[in-house]
Structure 1
Amino acid sequence: MKIVKATESDILELYRLQLLSFESEAEMIGSRKVPALMESEVDFKAAFNQWLTYKMIDDAGQIIGGIRYKYDDGYVDVGRLMVHPEYRQQGLAQKLLAFVDEHCSSKRRVLYTCTKSWINIKLYTKMGYKPIKEEQDGTGLSFVYMEKR
Structure 2
Amino acid sequence: MNVIIERALVSDAEQILTLQKLAFRSEAESISNYEIEPLVQTIENFKSQFESHIVLKAISDGTIIGSVRAYVKDGTCFIGKLIVQPEYQGRGIGKSLMEEIEKACPATRFELFTGSNSEKNIGLYNRLGYQVFKREVIGHYLTLVFLEKSCKSLSH
* TM-score (norm. length: structure 2): 0.86
Matched residue, 1:20: 22
Find the counterpart in structure 1 of residue 92 from structure 2: 91
Q: Greater CA deviation, 61-70 or 134-143?
A: 134-143
**Matched residue, 1:47:** 49
The sequence identity of aligned pairs, in percent, is: 35
Which structure shows the higher helix fraction? 1
Q: Is the 8 A contact 2:113 2:147 kept in 1?
A: yes
Tell me the CA shift for residue 57 of structure 1.
0.5
Look up the SS of the partner of 1:116 in the other structure.
coil
Secondary structure at the counterpart of residue 110 of structure 1:
strand
RMSD (Å) for aligned C-alpha atoms = 1.8
Amino acid at match of 2:99: A
Amino acid at match of 1:63: I
Q: Which amino acid aligns with 2:42?
A: S
Deviation at 1:103, TM superposition (A): 3.1
1:140 Cα offset (Å):
5.2
- Displacement of 1:6: 0.6
Secondary structure class of the residue paired with 1:50: coil
| Matched positions, count | 148
Residue of structure 2 aligned with 1:30, choices 29, 32, 41: 32
Task: Name the structure 2 match of 1:61.
Answer: 62
Unaligned regions of 5+ residues in structure 2, if any? 151-156
The equivalent residue for 2:79 is: 78
TM-score (normalised: structure 1): 0.89
Per-residue deviation, residues 33-73 of structure 1 (Å, max 9, x unmatched): 43211312222222232210010101x21101001111112
Q: Aligned equivalents of 2:125 and 2:57: distance in 1?
A: 19
User: How much has 1:93 moved relative to structure 2?
Assistant: 0.6
Contact 1:33 1:139 in 2 (8 A): no
Moved more, 25-34 or 129-138: 25-34
Counterpart code for 1:20:
L
Question: Aligned residue for 1:100?
Answer: 101
